[in-house]
Amino acid sequence: MMIRGLYVHIPFCSYKCPYCDFTSLVRSPVGFEDYTAFLLREAELYRDLNIRLETLYLGGGTPTLLSPGQIGALIDELGSIFDLSGLKEVTVECNPETYRFGEFRELLRAGVNRLSLGVQSFSEEGLKRLGREHGVQESLEAYIHARDAGFENVSIDIIYGYPGQRVEDIEIELESIGELNPDHVSAYMLTPHENTPMGMKILGGELEIPEEETLGDIYDRLWKGLKGLGYERYEVSNWAKGGKECKHNLLYWTMEEFLGLGVSAWGFFGGRRYGNTKNVMSYVKALSEGKKPLQSEVLLNEEDLFEEELMLRLRLKWGLGEEDMELIPERLRGFFEIKGGRLGIREEYMLLSNEIITEVLLYNSDRNSTEVRNG
């Protein structure tokens, strides 16, 4: 197989959001230039693989703390290690307070053709409740400047289900999305991670997230609103217009091979899934010694591969073929629909997707072990 996707993790942030459990450093012991030099050393270790990249994704952290010049130089250097001649999609995650027109122009010239803007909410109240440090005006400016600079593929990230969110608050998000008309929307439900300040408060009862019923209503309004605005959902948390699905993420969700570089990055190739260390000093140390900065590496057996692919494909709106209905237990079939020969969870049940997917996986692992037992 050929590796067509590369994820690069840039772990720097100018502040730490209270709900964030990504690997992001406000005070890094390693500077930007040194870090990108280590990224390239890591890339060198994979030079001999069959890599012809079609997608490149710079995520974080806040990749746009790097200047467009630094990002451009990184892409050029990666081009001297991997074959980038077939590159179709180059995404950079951008925090709204970081870049303006001039930087966006430079970024486009550096070969980046897709932006993922971390708006999170178009309501000041929402941003405050999420503990974000940027304001709505900064998001609007960043979006408009990016469009004026020439970006034709812009995605916006939204978070819902944060403490104190009411059903009617989702209208503010929908109204702004309707006005700005981004090509892609990712809407994630807030996850209270126990290793984050906000997660601890939620789990400890000090902060309250919306109750199940309210959350259901928020979600209902969200997907119906996005649908009304012409967005098509293609994954549990992702919507696109005009064929602008994220090509890079689609590689993950269809179990294609991809490479991950940088602190905490993941990769999958040759049936192996690996994860890099989350500690930037361990990352630097391993690479200084010419070693891969791995924290984990697992060889997936046939059953693992089947389960993982099934799980990922169930998250896609039309990830399975109609013949795969046999993988769905009878009692759950009402949650699914078939269209054009493809099978997926019905839109109105997507909020229950985690529960549905768990049950489908359990059913299939029981089925597989029975088949093995019966020879």
What are the residues binding ligand SF4 (CB under 6 A)?
Answer: 13, 16-17, 20, 22, 24, 60-62, 95, 118
When CB distances to ligand SF4 are compared, the closest residue is: 20
Supply the minimum distance, in Å, between the C-beta of residue 8 and ligand SF4. Answer: 14
Supply the minimum distance, in Å, between the C-beta of residue 283 and ligand SF4. Answer: 17
d(CA 245, CA 229): 16
- Residue 1 vs 26, nearer CB to ligand SF4: 26
Place of tokens 């630097």: 284
- Residue 198 vs 345, nearer CB to ligand SF4: 198
In this structure, the strands spanning 336-339 and 342-345 are antiparallel
- Residue 31 vs 150, nearer CB to ligand SF4: 31
Could you tell me where the beta strands, DSSP code E, fall in 190-252?
Answer: 232-235, 238-240
d(CA 46, CA 53): 13
The answer to whether the peptide bond before residue 61 is cis (omega within 30 degrees of 0) is yes
Supply the minimum distance, in Å, between the C-beta of residue 360 and ligand SF4. Answer: 31
Amino acid 49 reads L
HEC string for 141-198: HHHHHHHHHCCCCEEEEEEECCCCCCCCHHHHHHHHHHHHCCCEEEEEECCCCCCCHH
Supply the minimum distance, in Å, between the C-beta of residue 315 and ligand SF4. Answer: 22
- Residue 97 vs 256, nearer CB to ligand SF4: 97
Tokens of 261: 């570089």
- Residue 54 vs 138, nearer CB to ligand SF4: 138
Side-chain half-sphere CA neighbours of 358 within 13 A: 3
Supply the minimum distance, in Å, between the C-beta of residue 131 and ligand SF4. Answer: 9
Supply the minimum distance, in Å, between the C-beta of residue 198 and ligand SF4. Answer: 11
- Residue 16 vs 41, nearer CB to ligand SF4: 16
